[in-house]
Amino acid sequence: MKLLVSDFDGTFHTDEESIKVNCEILKKFLKEGNYFMLSTGRAFDSIKRKIEEYDIPCNYIGTSDGSFLLDKDGKVILENNISSDVVDNMQEFTDLATFERIQYAYPETNLLEYDKERSLASIAYVIKKENISSQVLELFESLKNRYSNYQFDIYGYDELYFFLVRPKGISKSIPVDHLSKILSIPKEEIYTIGDNSNDFEMIRDYNGYMIGNNEKLKSVALKKYDAFYELVQDINNKKVLKRW
């Protein structure tokens, strides 16, 4: 029994033709009694729409860059929350930077407004590259040093950058670890693949692979693939490079 974990944007979905092939080969993989998990920075409602659009066979979903683990029907299995004072702590940053939007991550969705009555997992400040000044970067780093119980990360997607604040220690690797214990799947049978810096930990911690040219991932990925289905073929044919 194996567990295969893939990022969605830029990994499982690179273009309209490849995703069709990915879905077909994944169906065969699951028929062998294996499991598949999508791990994404998206919220559940957003990735669920994509799963339905492309008819992606999926057992589990990790959302908000590792903050939540849900089953395919949206039942929350694991959640990691930040205390409500994080919003107040970040007011100084909110006043300085020019945002496209601020995303508040909740189990089922990302909201553009803070709801203090709900459990909050993370805050993502979405900023255009042209609006990222040295003052913005310096303040974000200062807040990172000031609030040691929070994790401050920056991820870039095209011309947008996500300044992400969440509990310390959260990454896409966390729900993979939790799921491996639930399913009793050892590390040597867990395979992960991604294309961006927010995939770093899950690629480093398991048999991890990459798509694309992210320099950070090159330091931990066992192999670079051009498409998700190529990894699945290597796993099925027992030709895959393994860390464990």
- Confidence (pLDDT) at 23: 97
Please state, for a pLDDT cut of 90, what percent of the chain lies above it: 77
Task: Please state the φ and ψ torsions of residue 155, each to the nearest 5 degrees.
Answer: -125, 135
Provide the 8-state DSSP code for 13: B
- Confidence (pLDDT) at 128: 95
Is pTM beyond 0.95 here? no
Provide the 8-state DSSP code for 178: H
Q: Are 123 and 151 in contact (CB under 8 A)?
A: no
Look up tokens 């970067």; give the residue. 137
DSSP H or E segment with residue 79: strand 76-79
Give CA–CA dist 191/189, Å, rounded.
7
87 pLDDT higher than 90: no
Q: Are 78 and 64 in contact (CB under 8 A)?
A: no
Mean pLDDT, residues 3-13? 97
Would you identify the CATH topology of the domain 3-79+171-236?
Rossmann fold (3.40.50)
Mean pLDDT, residues 44-73? 95
Q: What are the helix and strand counts (H, E) for the chain?
A: 9, 13
- Confidence (pLDDT) at 51: 97
Give CA–CA dist 221/195, Å, rounded.
10
CA dihedral over 77, 83, 88, 94, signed as positive or negative: negative
Q: Which of 10-14, 114-118, 128-132, 133-137 has the lowest mean pLDDT?
A: 114-118
Task: Please state the φ and ψ torsions of residue 222, each to the nearest 5 degrees.
Answer: -75, -30
Model confidence at 155, in pLDDT bands (50, 70, 90)? confident
190 pLDDT higher than 90: yes
- Confidence (pLDDT) at 157: 78
- Confidence (pLDDT) at 16: 92
Q: Decide: residue 26, CB within 10 A, 0-12 exposed, 13-18 middle, 19+ buried.
A: buried
Q: Which of 23-32, 33-42, 125-134, 148-157 has the lowest mean pLDDT?
A: 148-157
Mean pLDDT, residues 194-203? 96
Mean pLDDT, residues 18-40? 96
Please state, for a pLDDT cut of 70, what percent of the chain lies above it: 100
Q: For the chain, what are the domain ranges?
A: 3-79+171-236, 85-167
- Confidence (pLDDT) at 186: 97
5 pLDDT higher than 90: yes
- Confidence (pLDDT) at 119: 82
Mean pLDDT, residues 221-232? 97
Mean pLDDT, residues 223-228? 97
140 pLDDT higher than 90: yes
The whole-chain average pLDDT of the chain stands at 93
The DSSP string of 20-70 is HHHHHHHHHHHHTT-EEEEE-SS-HHHHHHHHHHHT---SEEEEGGGTEEE
